[in-house]
Amino acid sequence: MKNLEQLREIADRTLGGLNATPELRYAIQMKALKQQRRKAQTLVFAKIAAPSLCALLLLSLILFPSGKLGTSNPPSITSLPLGQLQDKGAEDVALIGEVAVSNTRRSSESGIWASSSTGSFPLLGVNGRYYRMIVSPSSVSSSSVGQSIGKVQEYTTEPSLSDTGIISSNCVNAGDDVYAYNGLSGTFVCAKVNGELRLFQRVSFNGHATIAHESLSDTLQLSGHIVSLSISGIGSVSDSAVAEELFSKLVQNASYESSGSIQTSSVLTIHLKEGISAQMLVSDDRLAACGVWSCPEFISAFKSAVNQ
């Protein structure tokens, strides 16, 4: 190993001819300055881009919660208020409150109830009780109309946001009268829609169903008026006496479950001697109109009556 005294001599031989001229010093400084500028530009870009990237990531999580961007068949969301019937298909539908999320759009039926074209179905809210418009018959005679129960105080396209302590509607004009239906006021009300007197049946809406200790018979006051019963997919009972017995079994044995609705493609239609009908949705031993009710006794008795 060479002595340290020889270090200067070795350096001179190795770096021979290399002089620290002002030009060389300037080139070294410029190179260092360019590197510093590149680092500063990178830092500035990162500070600018970071919020945008975070916003883009948040937006993608909102629009594509499954995390699969760019899929060819995104889910569709269809409003399903009470009484909206969903045809059964190959794919399952998950009900969340009053909204159904499915991977394909399906046609829907509402039986005799008016369907919801945009937003909520045509309805009347009367001090916390809700009534859905019936499409058959398309109008009722003035002789069937009872006393006025009040005037519509608010016309709104968002009835779910209306005060439950007033009379409101998304289809009846503000200032128009709402009438009881003679002999069936607990089940039906009437009001003019586009100049025609229309019939409305008591139903659930937006988590509102029965009030206080109301029973099914309070919301379906039909005893003594029944001509026949029919359940789609099961059959019909046309003997009025048998139909009355079956209805009595229903209102006496039904057990209240919830203020929501059920997913089904089957309906119970209750035909009345007044020439009008009431309706309930049917799924297994559960029925829904104003609230969801369980009554296996009625379903079993109805099937037996159909098969006789």
pLDDT tens by residue, 1-25: 555 566 566 655 655 555 555 555 5
What is the model's pTM? 0.66
* Tokens 């945008």, located at residue: 52
Helices 296-307 and 240-253 sit at what angle, rounded to 10 degrees? Answer: 160
Task: Tell me how far the alpha carbon of residue 173 is from its chain's centroid.
Answer: 25
- Look over the chain and give the mean of its residue pLDDT values, rounded to a whole number: 80
Of the listed ranges 85-89, 116-120, 215-219, 299-303, the one predicted with least confidence: 85-89
Between CA 152 and CA 132 the distance in angstroms is 15
User: How many residues does the structure list for the chain?
Assistant: 308
Residue 144 confidence (pLDDT) above 70: yes
| Tens of pLDDT, residues 232-284 | 999 999 999 999 999 999 999 999 999 998 988 899 999 999 999 999 999 99
Greatest extent of the chain over all pairs of C-alpha atoms, in Å:
127
Q: What is the mean pLDDT of residues 56-70?
A: 58
| Strands 154-155 and 167-169, bridge-based pairing | parallel
In this structure, the number of other CB atoms found within 10 A of the CB of residue 211 comes to 13
* 15 vs 183, more confident: 183
Would you state the pLDDT for residue 252? Answer: 97
The model's confidence at residue 91, banded by pLDDT at 50, 70 and 90, is very low
Phi, psi of 283 (to 5 degrees): -145, 110
Residue 218 confidence (pLDDT) above 80: yes
* Ramachandran region, residue 168 (left: φ > 0; alpha: ψ -120 to 50; beta: rest): beta
Would you state the pLDDT for residue 92? Answer: 34
Would you state the pLDDT for residue 271? Answer: 98
Would you state the pLDDT for residue 20? Answer: 55
Q: What is the mean pLDDT of residues 165-189?
A: 96
Strand runs labelled E in the chain: 76-79, 85-86, 94-96, 99-102, 108-109, 123-126, 129-133, 145-151, 154-155, 167-169, 177-181, 188-193, 196-203, 226-231, 235-237, 255-258, 266-272, 277-283, 286-289, 291-294
The DSSP code for 121 is P
Query: CA 209, 215, 220, 224: dihedral to nearest 10 degrees?
Result: -170
Show Cβ contacts of residue 73 under 8 Å, excluding neighbours closer than 6 positions.
103, 104
The residue type found at 186 is G
The model's confidence at residue 192, banded by pLDDT at 50, 70 and 90, is very high
Q: CA 268 → CA 230, 237, 242, 243, 257, distances in Å?
A: 6, 11, 15, 12, 18
